[in-house]
């Protein structure tokens, strides 16, 4: 029998779903290398490989068989060939611009454990999709807001979430599309460098984000009376500010977001929250073109009478802080811990923290490749984001269902 790859689901799965991988028809205890490859939309190649030995029956099931040392990972890691994908081009971040088309994953079984491995024994292709059948993708041009709404299948009403990304400009749909597969009406919201939105930022006006909240609450398929906010980095900061000043925000999940206003002032109804003082000269040079920006902001909890802290004690929302303990962009673990102490001191219990060791600034949905170094959107230089591969990948897999459970709990209870 010629070796063959068995996948479950066979031809197509959602990007955030596990994929079962097995190989049949090998020789007893035969040594092989398994390799996965995926090209992103720009054509950049991501690859991972692992060394295995088949059982006495010539079968190799990644759910039961540990990878041997020498590949991208070792040990019992059924999804290792997906979470360990790494770009051939240094510092490249995997983006998904068109969520309507899947990524194509290539799997190969190669003979032996050599470098490079031996001849090709079997191969398979598999689609990793972002939209489940029946999920609707609706471009939104309503008043000033520029966004994409994803609606789950069916005619019912769904808990509504606004997904706000970090500083970087444009419109990111990968997270919102995946959330819609899990039963949420999700609005991926752009706020600059997209279509006719401002090209440059000087300050944030929360009225723009309030339009998005009102759009969701007026939508016939969004369950009220409140919406959820999912914010990453600057998006987390903006989500906390929205909850502090606006009604109808029931739940906020902030992924490595500041708890004080940073880089650009935030304005709402004639009030302005100034930015934390920043000392760029405190950036550490790691090598000729990589910087560590973790110490450039003053501590908002140590500056007496600090006007930059977001007054989240005024919010009626529930808060979930998701933090990477090795975040080198935002002191997110410290910020979340201190702000929750302030809430507790006021008798509030509307918060929880998920804290992940070995995890840096970037926490994506499951199986997005590890990104330890990125481009800083404000300084336009390469910046350390932090984290290490295995811990980061486990954090993404753990945090994703926690985020969904949090929103299900606080957006469905009403």
The question of whether 361 is a catalytic residue gets the answer yes
Q: Is residue 387 located within the same domain as residue 370?
A: yes
Q: Is residue 116 located within the same domain as residue 149?
A: no
Any idea what the CATH number is for the domain that residue 57 is in?
A: 2.60.40.2240
Residue 315 pLDDT level (bands cut at 50, 70, 90): very high
Q: Which domain holds residue 190?
A: 136-412
Of the residues 177, 361, 364, 393, only one is catalytic, namely 361
Last residue of a domain, one of 79, 109, 129: 129
The predicted pLDDT at position 185 comes to: 98
Mapped onto helix, strand or coil, the DSSP state of residue 370 is: coil
The predicted pLDDT at position 305 comes to: 76
Closest CA to 363 of 252, 242, 270, 232: 232
pLDDT in tens, 184-198: 999 999 999 999 999
Q: Is residue 148 located within the same domain as residue 221?
A: yes
Q: What is the DSSP letter of 234?
A: H
Burial code (b: 16+ CB inside 10 Å, e: under 16) for 207-219 equals ebbbbbbbbbbeb
Q: Is the pLDDT of residue 239 over 90?
A: yes
Contacts of 316 (CB under 8 A, 6+ apart): 243, 247, 249, 250, 350
Of the residues 327, 332, 364, 393, only one is catalytic, namely 327
d(CA 304, CA 130): 47
Q: What are phi and psi of 262, to 5 degrees?
A: -125, 150
Q: Is residue 171 located within the same domain as residue 288?
A: yes
Q: Is residue 149 located within the same domain as residue 295?
A: yes
- Across 156-173, average pLDDT: 95
Of the residues 13, 49, 177, 233, only one is catalytic, namely 233
pLDDT in tens, 317-374: 999 999 999 999 999 999 999 999 999 999 999 999 999 999 999 999 999 999 999 9
Evaluate whether 66 touches 1 at the Cβ level (below 8 Å).
no
Evaluate whether 212 touches 206 at the Cβ level (below 8 Å).
no
pLDDT in tens, 15-38: 999 999 999 999 999 999 999 999
| pTM (predicted TM-score) | 0.96
pLDDT in tens, 368-407: 999 999 999 899 899 999 999 999 999 999 999 999 999 9
d(CA 76, CA 66): 4
Evaluate whether 222 touches 160 at the Cβ level (below 8 Å).
yes
Q: What is the DSSP letter of 312?
A: G
Domains of the chain: total: 2
Cα 286 to Cα 213, 289, 302, 326: the distances in Å are 41, 8, 27, 16
Environment class of 11 (CB within 10 Å of its CB; exposed 0-12, middle 13-18, buried 19+): exposed
d(CA 191, CA 193): 7
Last residue of a domain, one of 129, 144, 165: 129
Q: Is residue 364 located within the same domain as residue 401?
A: yes
Q: Is residue 146 located within the same domain as residue 260?
A: yes
Q: What are phi and psi of 223, to 5 degrees?
A: -75, 125
Q: Is residue 290 located within the same domain as residue 375?
A: yes
Residue 414 pLDDT level (bands cut at 50, 70, 90): very low
Q: Is residue 201 located within the same domain as residue 312?
A: yes
The question of whether 327 is a catalytic residue gets the answer yes
Sheet (strand 373-375) strand order? 284-287, 290-292, 382-384, 373-375
Q: Is residue 71 located within the same domain as residue 199?
A: no
Q: Is residue 296 located within the same domain as residue 235?
A: yes
Any idea what the CATH number is for the domain that residue 393 is in?
A: 3.40.50.1820
Last residue of a domain, one of 80, 95, 129: 129
Q: Is residue 346 located within the same domain as residue 198?
A: yes
Backbone conformation region of residue 88, classed left if phi is above 0, alpha if psi is from -120 to 50, else beta: alpha
């Amino acid at each position: 029998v010629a070796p063959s790859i068995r996948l479950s689901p066979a031809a197509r799965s959602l990007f955030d779903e596990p994929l079962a991988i097995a190989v049949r028809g090998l020789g007893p205890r035969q040594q092989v290398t398994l390799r996965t490859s995926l090209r992103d939309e720009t054509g950049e190649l991501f690859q991972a490989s692992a060394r295995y030995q088949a059982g006495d029956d010539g079968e190799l099931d990644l759910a039961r068989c540990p990878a041997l040392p020498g590949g991208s990972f070792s040990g019992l890691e059924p999804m290792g060939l997906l979470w360990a994908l790494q770009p051939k081009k240094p510092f490249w971040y995997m983006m998904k611009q068109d969520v309507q088309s899947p990524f194509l994953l290539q799997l190969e079984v190669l003979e032996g454990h050599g470098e490079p491995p031996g001849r090709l024994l079997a191969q398979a292709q598999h689609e990793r999709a972002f939209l489940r059948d029946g999920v609707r993708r609706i471009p939104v041009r309503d008043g000033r807001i520029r966004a994409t709404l994803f609606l789950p299948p069916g005619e019912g009403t769904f808990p509504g979430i606004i997904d706000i990304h970090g500083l970087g400009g444009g419109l990111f749909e990968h997270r919102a599309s995946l959330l819609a597969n899990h039963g949420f009406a999700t609005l991926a919201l752009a706020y600059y460098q997209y279509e006719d939105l401002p090209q440059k930022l000087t300050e944030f006006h929360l009225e723009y984000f309030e339009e998005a909240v009102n759009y969701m609450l007026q939508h016939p398929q969004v369950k009220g009376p409140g919406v959820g906010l999912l914010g990453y980095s600057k998006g987390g900061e903006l989500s906390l500010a929205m909850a502090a000043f606006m009604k109808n925000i029931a739940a906020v999940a902030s992924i490595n977001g500041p708890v004080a206003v940073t880089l650009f002032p935030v304005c709402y109804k004639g009030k302005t929250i100034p930015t934390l003082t920043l000392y760029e000269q405190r950036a550490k040079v790691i090598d000729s073109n990589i910087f560590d920006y973790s110490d450039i902001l003053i501590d908002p909890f140590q500056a007496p009478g600090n006007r930059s802290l977001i007054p989240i004690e005024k919010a009626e929302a529930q808060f979930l802080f998701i933090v990477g303990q090795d975040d080198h962009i935002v002191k997110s673990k410290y910020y979340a811990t201190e702000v929750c102490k302030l809430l507790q001191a006021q008798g509030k219990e509307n918060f929880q923290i998920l804290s992940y060791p070995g995890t840096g600034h970037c926490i994506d949905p499951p199986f997005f490749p590890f990104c330890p170094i990125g481009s800083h959107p404000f300084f336009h230089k390469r910046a350390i984001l932090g984290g290490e591969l295995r811990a980061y990948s486990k954090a993404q897999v753990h945090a994703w269902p926690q985020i969904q459970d949090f929103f299900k709990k606080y957006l469905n209870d009403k």
